[in-house]
Amino acid sequence: MQAKSLVCEEEDQVSSVKTIRKRSKPTSVGVPSHVIKFKEVRLYLVERKMGSSRRSFLTQLARSKGFVVDDILSDEITHVVSEDSETSSLWTWLKGCGLGNLSKMQVLHISWFTDSMREGRPVTVENRHLIQDALPALQIESALAPVAMISQYACQRRTSTDNKNKIFTDAFEILAENYEFNDLKSSCIAFRRAASVLKSLPWTVECIGATQGLPCLREHTKAVMEDILQCGRSFEVEKILSSERYQTLKLFTSVFGVGLKTAEKWYLRGLRSFSEILAEPSIELNRMQKSGFLHYGDISRAVTKAEAQALGNIIDEAAHLITSDAVIAMTGGFRRGKEVGHDVDFIVTTPEAGKEEYMLRQIIDSFKKQGILLYCEYQASTFHMSKLPCQSFEAMDYFAKCFLILRLEASRVDGGLSCAEGDNRGWRAIRVDLVSPPMDRYAFALLGWTGSTQFDRDLRRFARSERRMILDNHTLYDKTKKEFLTARSEEDIFAHLGLEYIEPLQRNA
Ligand code: UTP
Ligand code: MN
């Protein structure tokens, strides 16, 4: 099957307003003499509470900015805007208007209108804009209502670790990975976004009709879902799983220190297994790859929560021996409530500015003295405010950090280690990442290192497309005000972005 969604990430940044409802035919009502810029959006301004003169002023304003505003409320309307703060009387009135399409309309507070006028385009509908019908709470649970409220941005959705659509998202992730292996970035992103939307649903998709109106699901993604719904599996995914190229690249990139480029180079040379690589005299493994192969059995096995906690205690002890005001936070998947991970990620810092990098090196020294340091790749800080804001997001941030393999003794772990069968060494190797941002960068680093990767991507995309701001692991920069925004906590960052706070447990996008 052929991928239909070869669009780049930038092109894909359509406002979710557009995805809510496609209009079929235009009406003659209220056709303005102005140029129409937003054909998919048709507004109706409710006169109640607004008054007729303000209504006609706002109507003219919107039309001058390219919006279609109808004078009459009909089923053609996509967005109803009201200044009425009495929700129940507004809804009683709307329901009495004899509309057939009310459930598909966005009923919005005037704030959505003013935001849109300021931006000169229909802004994405956020929860704070919605005037919700308080009465039929049951109806909101029904098929149509929640769909209209799901944002295209993961940072406006809540996603716990309880994935009700794993059967689809597993398939999407294999497809995405395969596109990544073949350097088809936009298709890869499309499938990752689709997977992320399905992960956020509190219900399981049981028929393709139930996906109507969900953002980020395209023809190709739906075709894969239909296969799975009908046959319990996707033939396209099965073909990928059985392909030699996919299997080999998957195997090689599972080694610590082996990226896609190296894996592909080995594959093109005809190598297919670890033993072939290790037996090939012309291949010179670097230090990281040597450790990757040496500890492969241990570090390719999932890390449990108890093991992560034990490592947290070890890091905590080491840091507090160095300075009593050390600040340690577990980040990554474990902070998001995951039961297992591929590594354990920590932020280690201190309120004493400039001392954090020194502290990180001391912690590594302490591990060495304890005999638990199996591997260490240390990267000194290259952070400086004068380098910011970064125009393009780089995977790596500038903070001092280290990628470690640590030896964890069974005696340190509540309930013991998760061991391979027959393994009675009494210890295992675990991958640990430590990062040391200066304390005034702490909130940004915490947000970035907590992930998920998809959640962070969409936070940055939302900041850029909806707020004209640049977010990364170091800062938040407002391009309109031309200033850096300060944040002491993650909550501050969400507030600057005008987003509802999403707690770490709900960031498993
Ligand atoms: P991980 O790759 O460890 O992912 O990166 P995870 O979510 O914890 O998943 P598992 O359980 O280990 O497989 C954690 C977060 O840290 C960010 C990543 O983008 C991710 O969101 N990160 C990682 C950075 O921001 N910079 C880095 O240099 C590395
Ligand atoms: Mn991790």
Domains of the chain and CATH, by start: 32-145 (3.40.50.10190), 148-241 (1.10.150.110), 244-294 (1.10.150.20), 303-496 (3.30.460.10)
If you take atom 21 of ligand 1, which residue's CA is the nearest one? 451
- Nearest residue by C-alpha to atom 1 in ligand 1: 332
User: Which residues are found with C-beta within 5 Å of the ion, ligand 2?
Assistant: 332-333, 341, 343, 345
Q: Whose CA is nearest to atom 5 of ligand 1?
A: 332
Contact status, residue 106 vs residue 82, Cβ threshold 8 Å: no
CA angle 154–133–17, rounded 5-degree value:
40
Ligand closest to Cα of 455 equals: 1
Closest atom of ligand 1 to CA, residue 303? 11
**What's the confidence (pLDDT) of residue 393?**
67
Hey, whose CA ends up nearest to atom 24 of ligand 1?
449
Q: How far does the centroid of ligand 2 lie from the alpha carbon of residue 451, in Å?
A: 9
Of 378, 404, 453, the one to substitute when testing ligand 1's pocket (max ligand atoms within 8 A of C-beta) is 453
Q: Residue 311's closest CA among 405, 392, 241?
A: 405
Neighbours of 448 (CB within 10 A): 24
Plot region of 426 (φ>0 → left; ψ -120 to 50 → alpha; else → beta): left
pLDDT number for residue 17: 34
Structure tokens given for 147: 């769909």
- Report pLDDT for 9: 38
The residue to mutate among 449, 455, 456, having the most atoms of ligand 1 within 8 angstroms of its beta carbon, is 449
Q: How far is the CA of 410 from the centre of ligand 2 (A)?
A: 21
* pLDDT confidence of residue 95: 83
Q: Look at residue 59 in the predicted model and tell me its pLDDT.
A: 95
* Ligand showing the shortest atom-to-Cα distance for residue 332: 1
Q: Alpha-carbon distance 346 to 435, whole Å?
A: 6
CA distance 153 to 461: 8
Rounded to whole angstroms, how far apart are CA atoms 499 and 492? 10
Question: What atom of ligand 1 comes closest to residue 453's alpha carbon?
Answer: 21
Q: What lines the ligand 1 site, CB under 6 Å? A: 332-333, 338, 341-343, 345, 396-397, 448-449, 451-453, 456, 473
> Ligand 1: which residue has its CA nearest to atom 3?
332
Residue 434 CA, distance from chain mean position: 22
CB 296 within 8 A of CB 322: no
In ligand 1, the atom with minimum distance to the C-alpha of 343 is 12
CA-based nearest residue to 350, from 319, 313, 382: 319
How far is Cα of residue 373 from the mean position of the Cα atoms in its chain?
32
CA–CA distance from 308 to each of 329, 407, 443 (Å)? 12, 12, 22
Query: Which residues of the chain are modeled with pLDDT < 70?
Result: 1-32, 135-148, 393-395
What b-and-e string marks burial along 11-29, b requiring 16 or more CB atoms within 10 Å of the CB? ebeebbbbbbbeeeeeeeb
Cα 359 to Cα 324, 399, 424, 436: the distances in Å are 11, 13, 35, 9
The ligand whose atoms approach the alpha carbon of 254 most closely is 1
| Distance (Å) from CA 164 to ligand 2 centroid | 22
> What residues have CB less than 8 Å from 152, skipping those under 6 apart?
14, 16, 19, 124, 193, 197, 215, 216
pLDDT of 420 reads 77
Spacing, Cα 214 to ligand 1 middle (Å): 27
Between the CA of 238 and the centroid of ligand 1 the distance, in Å, is: 28
Q: Are 80 and 73 in contact (CB under 8 A)?
A: yes
Q: Across 1-158, where does the E strand assignment appear?
A: 42-45, 68-70, 79-82, 106-109
Nearest CA to ligand 1 atom 20: 451
User: Could you identify the atom of ligand 1 that is nearest to the CA of residue 340?
Assistant: 11
Active-site positions read: 343, 345, 433
* Residue whose entry in the numeric block shows the structure tokens 């497309």: 465
Ligand 1 atom 17: the closest Cα is on which residue? 449
> Residue 450: nearest ligand to its CA?
1
Burial of 368 (0-12, 13-18, 19+ CB in 10 A): exposed
CA-to-CA distance for 331 and 453, rounded, in angstroms?
12
pTM of structure: 0.75
Q: Is the peptide bond before 136 cis (omega within 30 degrees of 0)?
A: no
3-state secondary structure of 144: helix
